[in-house]
């Protein structure tokens, strides 16, 4: 039986950092454990701003684990530009896409199942 592919969609930001941390941790831990065939991450809206600007040690460590586990992360360039964080996200190795919705639709068509935080 083949494993599922997961798309972790983080919509939360500074108003709910616990959800951001939960999403990041679940993404890398499930990838690391082999629970999913593949895991991808997309930051949407406030999550883009929060990940770019946070100094929260736990969030930063969880994001480092995303990178360490080779999880591709995406964010919408239009939203990032509006928050003024595009360059910061690029430096954090986030792949900037023209449309978060388009990216989600594409990944779902490739068999990724969305999990939102």
Helix-, strand-, coil-residue percentages of the chain, each rounded to 5: 50, 20, 25
Q: Read off the DSSP letter of residue 92.
A: T
**Averaged pLDDT score across all residues of the chain:** 96
Instruction: For residue 84, give the nearest of 111, 39, 49, 115 by alpha carbon.
Output: 49
Q: Are 44 and 75 in contact (CB under 8 A)?
A: yes
Residue ranges making up the domain that contains 86: 5-116
User: At what angle are helices 46-53 and 57-68 packed, to 10 degrees?
Assistant: 100
Query: 58: helix, coil or strand?
Result: helix
**CATH number of the domain that residue 96 is part of:** 3.40.1260.10
Query: Residue 3: pLDDT band by 50, 70, 90 thresholds?
Result: confident
* pLDDT at site 78: 97
Q: Read off the DSSP letter of residue 7.
A: E
Query: Residue 41: pLDDT band by 50, 70, 90 thresholds?
Result: very high
Number of domains in the chain: 1
Q: Is 113 buried (19+), middle (13-18) or exposed (0-12) by CB count in 10 A?
A: exposed
Query: Residue 2: pLDDT band by 50, 70, 90 thresholds?
Result: confident
Distance CA 59, CA 69 (A): 15
State pLDDT tens for residues 46-98.
Answer: 999 999 999 999 999 999 999 999 999 999 999 999 999 999 999 999 999 99
State pLDDT tens for residues 6-22.
Answer: 999 999 999 999 999 99
1 has a pLDDT exceeding 80: no
Distance CA 77, CA 100 (A): 8
105 has a pLDDT exceeding 80: yes
């Amino acid at each position: 039986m083949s494993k599922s592919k997961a798309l972790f969609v983080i919509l939360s930001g500074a108003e709910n950092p616990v959800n951001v941390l939960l999403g990041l941790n679940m993404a890398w831990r499930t990838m690391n454990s082999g629970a999913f065939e593949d895991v991808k991450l997309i930051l949407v809206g406030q999550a883009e701003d929060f990940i770019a600007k946070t100094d929260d040690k736990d969030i930063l460590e969880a994001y480092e684990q995303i990178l360490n586990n080779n999880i591709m992360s995406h964010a919408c360039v239009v939203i990032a530009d509006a928050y003024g964080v595009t360059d910061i996200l690029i430096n954090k190795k986030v792949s900037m896409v023209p449309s978060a919705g388009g990216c989600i639709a594409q990944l779902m068509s490739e068999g990724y199942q969305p999990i939102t935080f």
